[in-house]
Amino acid sequence: MTRYAIVGQGVAGISAAEAIRTVDRSAEIFMVSNDPNGFYSRPGLAYYLTGELPEEQLFIYSRDDWRRLNLKQVKGEAIRLLPKEHKLALDHSAPLEYDRLLLATGTTAAPLAVPGAILKNVMYLDHLEDTRAILKQARRSRTAVVVGGGVLAIELVEGLAARKLQVHFFLRGARYWSNLLDEVESRLVEERLEHEGVRIHPNTEIAEILGRSGSVSGVRTTHGETIGCEMVTVAIGARPRIELAQVAGLEVERGILVNETMQTSHPDVFAAGDVGQVYDPLTGKKSLDMLWNPAREQGRAAGLNMAGGTAIYQRAVAVNVLRLGGVMTTIIGAIGSGKNDSPLSFMRGSSETWQQLPNTIAVAKGGGVNQLRLLLGERTIAGALLMGEQTLSLPLQELVSRQVDITPIRAQLLHADAPLGQVLMEFWLNSSVERKKYA
């Protein structure tokens, strides 16, 4: 009987277990997890924070699902991997012996390195426990400072504002998410937040967190201003948890390096999810995604291959549909400035690909809350950002991810007065009809 060990009970680990079970019903699958709450939707934490989603709806699996998976749950921390011996050391129990192992350890929030950062109520949003702690503290607080950028910081801002706190949002740069959004898009998000009563502080960082009796009482900014608050929440980046792989001598860079079968530099050790650094056929580089769907797909491919299959993981165009300052937003492919304004890393809920500045021409159309920006290559659309009205979200996802040849409409799209949305929609409808005819 083959023994599989999976470290991490996030979506990558669970998908791997699912995939192994489709091939091998009798195998022993050990699932090692240090999260007392098991498997739940991490993207859902943002909606739990705002109060839009009750906690029980975060849990995706039913009792029947667990029974079907038939896992041997091991609660605790995996502390050392010995690939040659095929052993995994654990903090609370005897070492596990395995035939094949998956590292699906995800990421952890990058810590804020300023005086006072270890005070109580300096908080991060990694797990369900963190979310519960933030909510508990929010009930006792009147004012919060949020520091960071990208997806997670704005989710914290929105969550705390929804709980009626006065929120101060500190931006390192002149505007929100400047390595991804253009000026109009950033301002749109900022205006919406300000409308909700959020105070935005551009070009501002925390110089020191001030405390009283071990808890946060305020912050001193890099401009010398002091703001009183009872909590500071931080989302300045996320780091893949590569330590087990690193100490075991596996090849790592920013993440654990894997080939297209999700195998690491040791043939019996695989890695998947946020922690995996995967070959990107578009750029020829190995990149990181911190997104739910890629984590699930990588876990599936890893599980099938661990069970003796030959599944190839092909990195797809990175997509997320999310809310920024209350505005529904779809982000697809490469749309960034090519800069990374976070020296630490990038955020959960985003992809390294987005930040790239492709060799393209940008065309944009907007009116109020509805914004559309396309990055046009010679024959394809390299990336798209859609805010507000989302009718074009699916068509754009398809046109970008399938690299549809847009030659017939390219000149129209480049025309200054082009009704971009209408041209794209008609083209997509026609190309869908064509595809179906020959399918």
What residues line the site for ligand FAD (CB under 6 A)? Answer: 7-13, 32-35, 42-43, 45-46, 77-78, 104-107, 125, 151-152, 155, 241, 244, 273-274, 290-293, 295, 320, 322, 348-349
CA dihedral 247, 253, 255, 260 (to 10 degrees): -110
Q: Which residues pair with 239 in a beta bridge?
A: 108
Cβ nearer to ligand FAD, comparing 77 with 225: 77
Shortest Cβ distance from residue 234 to ligand FAD (Å)? Answer: 13
Minimum gap (Å) between residue 225 Cβ and ligand FAD: 29
Q: Is 125 helix (H, G, I), strand (E, B) or coil?
A: coil
Residue of 235, 203, 185, 156 whose CA lies nearest to 336: 185
Residue 418 C-beta: closest distance to ligand FAD, Å: 31
Q: What's the closest the beta carbon of residue 239 comes to ligand FAD, in angstroms? A: 11
Closest CA to 152 of 300, 345, 8, 18: 345
85 to 69, 177, 317, 353: CA distances (angstroms): 27, 46, 38, 37
Rounded least distance, CB 224 to ligand FAD, Å: 32
Q: Pick the closer one to ligand FAD by CB: 221 or 297.
A: 297
CB 48 → ligand FAD: shortest distance, Å? 9
The Cα–Cα gap between 148 and 341 comes to 11
Show the DSSP H helices in 284-347 as ranges.
Answer: 292-306
Closer by beta carbon to ligand FAD, 10 or else 83? 10
Task: Measure the CA–CA gap between 412 and 108, rounded to whole angstroms.
Answer: 45
Tokens 């010995």 correspond to 82
Nearest approach, Cβ of residue 32 and ligand FAD (Å): 5
Distance CA(59)–CA(39), nearest Å, equals 7
| Minimum CB distance to ligand FAD smaller for 40 or for 428 | 40
**Nearer to ligand FAD (CB atom), residue 16 or residue 209:** 16
Phi, psi of 32 (to 5 degrees): -95, 125
Of residues 13 and 383, the one with the C-beta less far from ligand FAD: 13
Strands 28-33 vs 3-7: parallel, antiparallel or unpaired: parallel
Q: Which is nearer to ligand FAD, 106 or 325 (CB)?
A: 106
